[in-house]
Amino acid sequence: MELQSIKHRFGIIGQSPLLIRALEIATHVAPTNISVLINGESGVGKENIPKIIHHLSTRKHGPYIAVNCGAIPEGTIDSELFGHEKGSFTGAHEARKGYFEEANNGTIFLDEVAELPHSTQVRLLRVLETGEFIRVGSSKVQKTNVRVIAATNVDFNDAIGSGKFREDLFYRLNQVPIAMPALRDRGHDIVLLFKKFASDFSEKYNVPVLQLSSESEALMLGYYWPGNIRQLKNITEQISLLETNRIVSPETLRAYLPVEGFTTQGIVKKGNNPQDFSEREILYKVLFEMKSELNDLKQLVFGLMQGGSNLEHPENAELIHRIYKMGNPEEDNFAHSANPIITVTPASGPPMLMGPSSHEVIEESLSLMDTEKEMIRKALLKHKSRRRNAAKELGISERTLYRKIKEYDLNDL
């Protein structure tokens, strides 16, 4: 089955390469009986992968059972998974089948598998290795033919190192790993998902569909999304219900986005590298800084054309200095110039700002990709192609920098 058909069937939105890779692995392993371990943050949609694997496998006509291991109390988890005999514990008034028995010849999805207690991990390992289990309160060994797919948002290196998870069970579950990307790593998928949710809530609540301004799209792309898709869906629903203006401005969006998603202090988690998101933070800040400066510049030029602006006013001189420096950061002598030269040529259009060396200041592109490429180019030139230093200057990892250099064809720098 083609990926597009799979995405349509399971309601998956997005074109991110990381998402496509996860779907490709799922479709490749589906016809086998191999165990799969899905890793990803809470709210990224891990639950879709086991459904895809099951429905594309030879077990698709068998049962599919999803179990949230973190939601079952430790005292009853063994009974839930493997069943129990009558009288095996207080309240066991009759014998009961467990999920592994019910899912025979099918698939069982163990979500948040890292939350399993040690005693249950031992039982699970036995099922994976031999297909055998014993009900609670019984001595009879039973067989089951179940494919196990597990998922977690836990760093297994930490869990194993701290003794919370068995290393042998990890390797048995992790025969094929699938990494589900966080929402912040999926680029324009964020906007696509917002539009899908906005359409759904428009129909559900009988209200006009929300629209994003270009500035709001940039804000969404720069946000960290600690709650991932679940957070995006909740915020879209809130705005759909509570806002009368159907064009979502950055100010409106900020009112619904928790502030910790904008700051490095609030979003650094154990096992996450701050460099992974600092690149987006830098680009976001640069884009809005440029937009603000250009708006101020337009007002200044308009005033010049109307003859109502004083070039020697300190605020205007400072603005011209900042605008010039945005396009010519290497020319430090500009700061020592008494005043920039401004020429007005009515025949050719609006006034043009000129520096002391008569370099024209050209309005830079507000494209996210163009801005990112230019920042990387300048960093490489500044550090004479020493990529480690350039990466440190940009606040990104060397690995990310190498990938961006290849993507933007900057290998000659």
Q: What is the DSSP string of 335-388?
A: GGSSS-EEE--GGG-S-EEE-TT--B-PPPP--HHHHHHHHHHHHHHHTTT-HH
Q: How many CA atoms lie within 13 A of 377 on its CB side?
A: 12
Indicate the residue among 181, 205, 240 that finishes a domain.
181
Residue type, 24: E
**How many Cα atoms sit within 13 Å of 298 on the Cβ side?**
7
Q: What is the pLDDT of residues 380-400, one digit of tens each?
A: 888 888 888 888 888 787 778
Query: Does the residue 363 lie in any domain?
Result: no
Q: What percent of the chain lies above the pLDDT cut of 90?
A: 59
- Both structure tokens of 180: 């589900």
Same-domain pairing of 84 and 158: yes
Domain residues for 198?
184-267
Q: Could you tell me if residue 274 is inside a domain?
A: no
> Based on the domain organization, do 133 and 208 belong to the same domain?
no
The answer to the question of residue 382 being in a domain is: yes
Q: Read off the tokens for 107.
A: 């698939």
Q: Which helix (H) or strand (E) holds 266?
A: helix 264-267
Residue 226 shares a structural domain with residue 310 = no
Same domain assignment for residues 160 and 193: no
Examine the domain organization and report whether 74 and 96 are in the same domain: yes
208 and 289 assigned to the same domain: no
Residue that is last in its domain, among 181, 200, 228: 181
199 and 72 within one domain: no
Pair (54, 168) in one structural domain? yes
- Residues 104, 21 within the same domain: yes
Residue 413 domain-assigned (yes or no):
no
Say if 361 falls within a structural domain.
Answer: no
Same domain assignment for residues 252 and 107: no
Positions in the chain short of pLDDT 50: 264-278, 309, 330-366
On whether the pTM is more than 0.85, the answer is no
Q: Length of the chain, please? A: 413
Cβ contact 233:198 at 8 Å: no
- Is residue 273 situated within a structural domain? no
> Does residue 156 fall inside a structural domain?
yes
- The pLDDT score that the predictor gives to residue 106 is 97
Report the pLDDT value the prediction gives residue 363, as an integer from 0 to 100.
45
Please give the sequence-ordered ranges of beta strands (E in DSSP) within 211-328, or none if there are none. Answer: 211-212, 247-248
pLDDT for the residue numbered 403: 82
Whole-number pLDDT of residue 204: 96
Answer yes or no: do 18 and 161 share one domain.
Answer: yes
Looking at residue 402, its pLDDT comes to 81
Count of domains observed in the chain: 4
Instruction: Give a yes or no: residue 149 inside a domain.
Output: yes
Reported as type and span, the H/E element at residue 177 is strand 176-179
Long-range CB pairs of 174-177 (<8 Å, 24+ gap) are 174/35, 174/37, 175/34, 175/35, 175/36, 175/37, 176/25, 176/29, 176/34, 176/35, 176/36, 176/37, 177/36, 177/37, 177/38, 177/39
For residue 374, the domain's CATH number is 1.10.10
Q: Which of 161, 181, 201 is the last residue before a domain boundary?
A: 181
Instruction: Write the CATH number for 212.
Output: 1.10.8.60
* Same-domain pairing of 218 and 105: no
CATH of the domain at 169: 3.40.50.300
Structure confidence at residue 410 (pLDDT) = 87
Range list of β-strands (E), 31-146? 36-39, 64-68, 107-111, 132-134, 141-143
